[in-house]
Amino acid sequence: MSRLDSFLRRITAQRDCLNRAVELISGLDGPVIELGLGNGRTYDHLREILPVREIFVFDRRIAARPDCVPDAAHMIVGDIRETLPNAQARIPGPAALAHCDIGTGDAAANAEIAAFVARHLVALLAPGAIVVADQAMACPEWEPLALPAGIRPGRYHMWRVRP
């Protein structure tokens, strides 16, 4: 498969999982956490499909188009190993949804950061919250969810925080 086809499948899986997650959290209050602003495409999609929710975005630096960058109150800049453990001070209440786009192309680095994120993200999530991620993560408080139709297992991942 070409890299272009792989990219298209990943982006389609990301969008379909996020759209499904929005359905699953319809009765759950709380903000949204976006780990990885990148160029801002996913943040832009989230603010379109969740217009009344606060979205808190984490990234080590801002590289997105200016119209796809959250305001200073919702943009948390710095190494995730420093910003995520202290995020409860910035986020008003447990989150209903977390999207983690944290992959780097380095399998060992991905596994390390995914383990770190799972350990620290759990404290920021409401019971019943949905986690959508590009990397496999293991957290005893999360139960895996079926992916939307057409998404190959392992392409993207979804979990629900156990009540």
The predicted-structure confidence for 58-116, as pLDDT tens digits, reads as follows: 999 999 999 999 999 999 999 999 999 999 999 999 999 999 999 888 999 999 999 99
Does domain 3-161 bear CATH number 3.30.70.120? no
The pLDDT value recorded for residue 105 is 82
The distance of Cα 158 from the centroid of its chain, to the nearest Å, equals 10
The distance of Cα 65 from the centroid of its chain, to the nearest Å, equals 19
The pLDDT value recorded for residue 104 is 86
Structural domain spans, the chain: 3-161
Mean pLDDT of 13-39: 97
Alpha-carbon distance of 45 to 95, in angstroms, equals 18
Residue 1 has pLDDT above 90, yes or no: no
Which tokens in the block code for residue 64? 């997105």
- Per-residue CA distances from 49 to 19, 32, 102, 131 (Å): 8, 12, 21, 16
The predicted model scores a pTM of 0.95
Residue 119: pLDDT band (50, 70, 90) is very high
